[in-house]
Amino acid sequence: MYAYVRDLLTMSSFGVGLKPEQIVVDSAISGTQDAPDLIVYTTKGGKVLRTPDHAYAVFEVKPGSPLTKHAVSIYAEKKKYIQPGSRYFFLMDQKQVIRKDLLEKTEAPFLWSDMTAIEQFIECFKVLSFDRLRLEEQLERFRDNKTPYA
């Protein structure tokens, strides 16, 4: 399933348009045995920054539909994957996606059955657009007082 999720985030026809090298699949976090299913990294000047400070989004992907009953316990177990630069944590199974905003401490659920419309898919994943993951864009949003940090 990891390659499928990566493809959804990198194919321009789905509206997110990340570069494939921005997504690391099932690889251990530096200095640990922990291996999140996917990590999405920010860029600077077009170059991917693969450091904990730039791990913008973490994904936990499960087969079937365990999130319906076990989302809280799965998140409790997998939140150890959150890095210093993580802004979002996505819990995903074959029925739904739960997007957690780690700064604002909110979450938004999305059903895959609703994401057959491209607008709903983009609503779920727009926080991962190529422009949003540019460090230059993040710094500009900070300077313009458009971030929770400002």
Q: How far is CA 69 from the centre of its chain?
A: 22
Report pTM.
0.89
The answer to whether position 58 is within a domain reads yes
Q: Flag whether 126 is in a domain.
A: yes
In a domain, 110, yes or no: yes
Residue 42: inside a domain:
yes
Q: Give a yes or no: residue 26 inside a domain.
A: yes
The two three-digit tokens of residue 144, written as one number: 């313009």
Q: How many domains does the chain have?
A: 1
Could you tell me if residue 14 is inside a domain? yes
Domain annotation covers residue 45:
yes
Answer whether residue 149 is part of any domain.
Answer: no
CB–CB of 93/61 below 8 Å?
A: yes
CA distance 6 to 19: 10
Instruction: Write the CA distances from 78 to 36, 91, 128, integer angstroms.
Output: 8, 9, 20
| Partners of 48 in beta bridges | 43
Model pLDDT for residues 51-99, shown as the tens digit of each residue: 888 999 999 999 999 999 999 999 999 999 999 889 999 999 999 999 9
Q: What CATH number does residue 69 fall under?
A: 3.90.1570
Residue with tokens 């997504």: 23
Range of the domain at 104: 2-143
**Residue range 14-57, pLDDT digits in tens:** 888 899 999 999 877 766 677 899 999 999 998 999 988 899 99
